Amino acid sequence: MNVSSPVSLYVHIPFCSRRCRYCAFASEPMDLHDPKPVIDALIQEAARYDLGSTIQTIYIGGGSPTSLPEKLLFGLIEYLAYICYDVSEFTVEANPGQVNEPILKSLYSLGVNRLSIGVQSFNWKELELLGRQHTAVDVAKSVYAARTVGFTNISLDLISAIPESGIKDFEHSLLCATDLDVEHISVYSLSYEDGTSMKEMLDSGRIQAVDEETDRAMYEMAIEVLEQAGLRQYEISNFAVPGLECAHNLTYWANRSWIGVGPSAASWYQGKRTVNVADVRDYVRRIQEGNDPTLEVQNPTLLERACETAVLNLRRRVGIDLSEFQQQTGFDALNLFAESIQNHVSNGFLEITDKSVRLTCKALPIADQILCDFSTL
Ligand code: SF4
């Protein structure tokens, strides 16, 4: 597959019912906007591409797709399912408390076959601190309702290292998540992004970040508990029943082409990385006037592409597949990164097999530091 054939489509819904305290995603409160012109613009932007049979995965994220009025959300899904007729994985992000059995039934009947549910925690104090609007019971109800209507591929997102909480609190969330017997779980450590209320709370001393040692212990616990529950770690932060890894995200980690539509959506298509304007009104205006919604364009060199591919591939537990890398980038990974590979093999952070280079278990908690060494040459 070359870079000019997109395999995945990402659709960004820029609305949420209310902002969570830690969130830096491009999303605005729904009550400040009329969502209809935005969804119309998204549809017009998608229609500019010849998506047809090349798109294998669709992911509607945001923001909160399920904060949209049902008619708009269903209309968008129906349109996408119509123009992309060979899709094997169609994911919609759902917030617990915003979906019920009739809504899920409609999503399923329109072709959505994977749900990604934003759980974050099963502890009410943590949910309150994060500014989430749902309870642990809402999560269970959403999963049961999704099963009832036929979903067989459900993912839950969890956050570790939430301030004021300890390892037992996190274990509770992990165990509640595995009790729901879902096919996929993602675990990300809380990060304090500029401009979020969580960062302000941290800077003003109202909360304290979890210390590095506890953060690491939580990560190691996640690997142990989730693997024991039959969810195999296939990426630094992602775990799945074998065979049900998120195909859409695997596109990103393989550095294959995708198209993103909507305000702030990024694309990697025809050798260019582009990012759409984030401002919702500006985005709609540009589309309505027939103009390009793109704000930034980068044309990475072949060497830059090879570095990006290595960093993304190393996030996967399978690591860099040497022949796939050579075919995709034209470079021999073992030669191109000889110095970094040698250093990290000797300190036990990388291993080389006959087909691949990958992170060792020891490297996983400090993966970001190791990946930095592959980001430039
Ligand atoms: S629901 Fe998701 S996208 Fe919306 S504010 Fe919360 S974390 Fe951010």
Q: What is the Å distance from ligand 1's center to 132 Cα? A: 8
Would 326 be classed as within a structural domain? yes
The per-residue pLDDT for range 189-225, each reduced to its tens digit, is: 999 999 999 999 999 999 999 999 999 999 999 999 9
CA of 120, closest atom in ligand 1: 7
Is 64 near ligand 1, meaning CB less than 6 Å away?
Answer: yes
Does the Cβ of 26 fall within 6 Å of ligand 1? no
CATH of the domain at 127: 3.80.30.20
Same domain for 21 and 134: yes
In a domain, 3, yes or no: no
The CB of 188 under 6 Å from ligand 1? The reply is: no
Q: How many domains does the chain have?
A: 2
- On whether both 230 and 329 belong to a single domain, the answer is no
Tell whether 169 and 247 lie within a shared domain.
yes
Among 252, 280, 296, which residue terminates a domain?
252
Per-block mean pLDDT, blocks of 10 residues, the chain (377 long): 69 94 89 92 95 92 95 97 95 96 98 98 97 96 98 98 95 98 98 95 96 96 98 98 98 96 95 96 97 94 97 98 97 98 98 96 96 94
pTM attached to this predicted model: 0.96
Residue 351, domain extent: 314-372
If you measure from the C-alpha of residue 25 to the centroid of ligand 1, how many angstroms do you get, rounded to a whole number? 7
Q: Relative to the CA of 24, which ligand 1 atom is closest?
A: 8
- Going by alpha carbons, the residue nearest to atom 2 of ligand 1 is 63
- SS3 call for 90: strand
**Is 217 in the same domain as 353?**
no
Q: Tens of pLDDT along 121-177?
A: 999 999 999 999 999 999 999 999 999 999 999 999 999 999 988 999 999 999 999
- Residue 34 CA, ligand 1 centroid: distance in Å: 18
318 lies in the same domain as 248: no
Say if ligand 1 is within 6 A of residue 61 CB: no
Distance, in Å, from the CA atom of 176 to the CA atom of 45, rounded to the nearest integer, reads 40
Continuous segment of H or E residues that includes residue 202:
helix 197-203
What is the distance between the alpha carbons of residues 196 and 20, in angstroms, rounded to a whole number? 9
CA distances from 133 to 22, 100, 124, 242, 305 (A): 13, 15, 10, 32, 40
Distance in angstroms (rounded) separating the CA atoms of residues 236 and 316:
7
Atom number, ligand 1, closest to the C-alpha of residue 63: 3
What is the rounded distance in angstroms from the CA atom of residue 138 to the CA atom of residue 133?
A: 10
